[in-house]
Structure 1
């Protein structure tokens, strides 16, 4: 089985969660290859907290899909795609929308995950389901976005991996 973990991370929390997910997936599922794709926007968001809030709000309100700095040719070889994002204004970050709009996910197994600052998963799972048009979407893994919560999320990830019942080909 080949897995892609695609994510956007502004403050490195979602990146760290993606890395832990990959570690757990490799230990829980046999014969798995895991690749990463970072949905980095060509024009980075501000490092200033208040400015990035304004930028994110503006992009989401305008349904802006920023051009990504990097790309992958195809998702055809992947059986399962984990899609991760911070919770930005109750939904996915705009770079994740850009990635999703680049491919046909309708026949892919999608596993959504997010980090948040207290807002939980918001509408992230429903938004990913709508954008990907996937009929096979797992429940969302939502982890509070601080270092301690993320570093202590392995057991929660193991449970999530078992709950999503990926059918190995």
Structure 2
């Protein structure tokens, strides 16, 4: 039997600082989940980072700033590149769900890469809204073949990592990873 090597990447956007229901954090909720996916799949991690990070660390200020970006449909500059992106068969895309929307830097990433022929797997952290339609937005922007995504409470990823890892692993197994 011939086994083909599948290259996969885990691209994510995550925030530290003061966050809803978890307080001040030094590792973002979505970053935690991305790490769990990488542990299980062996995929390469790529964090979407700002070229100039002007997002406030305080939760109330962050809300105002991110909502303004959403209204303006901003596409903030990001830094770094995914090595060999064209070679990836599957790309996991992770983000926090902010008011039924992906953070604008995620759009910057998605719109600047060619997803032709790739499988895309969305995952998000949230505090009650699940995907809130953001998985459909990933599909619309990438026009890629979508695999069933995964949504988990941010506070679960942050405060109950064993349970979160169990759920991540169950999901990954259910979609063939």
TM over 0.5: yes
Q: Alpha-carbon deviations, 1:29-67, whole Å to 9, x = none?
A: xxxxx2111111122211011111111111112111110
Query: For this pair of structures, how many residues does the alignment match?
Result: 158
Q: How far apart are residue 131 of structure 1 and its match? A: 0.6
Q: Among 42, 54, 64, which residue is 2:51 paired with?
A: 42
Once residues 121 and 132 of structure 1 are traced to their aligned partners in structure 2, the CA distance between those partners, rounded to angstroms, is 16
Asked whether the 8 Å contact 1:13–1:150 carries over to 2, the reply is: no
Query: Aligned equivalents of 1:24 and 1:151: distance in 2?
Result: 14
Using structure 1 for the length normalisation, give the TM-score.
0.87
Aligned to 1:138: 147
8 Å Cα contact 2:33-2:168 kept in structure 1: no
Measured in 2, the distance between the counterparts of 1:150 and 1:157 equals 10
Which TM-score applies when normalising by structure 2? Answer: 0.83
Query: Structure 1: where are the runs of 5+ without partners?
Result: 27-33
Deviates more, 1:43-52 or 1:153-162: 153-162
Q: State the shift of 1:72 in Å.
A: 2.9
* 3-state DSSP of counterpart to 2:50: coil
- Counterpart in the other structure of 2:25: none
C-alpha distance in 2, partners of 1:150/1:115? 13
Q: Secondary structure at the match of 1:153?
A: helix
Structure 2: unaligned runs, 5 residues or longer: 1-5, 17-27
What is the DSSP-based 3-state SS (H/G/I as helix, E as strand, rest coil) of the residue aligned with 1:81?
strand
Q: Deviation at 1:127?
A: 0.6
Residue number in structure 2 paired with 1:17: 33
Alignment of 1:6 with 2:11, yes or no, is yes
Which has the larger Rg? 2
| Offset of residue 149 of structure 1 | 4.0
Among 131, 138, 146, the alignment partner of 1:121 is 131
Quick one: structure 1 residues 151 and 145, their matched pair in 2 at CA, closer, same or farther if it must change by over 3 Å? farther
Counterpart in 2 of 1:162?
Answer: 173
CA contact (8 A) 1:143 1:149 kept: no
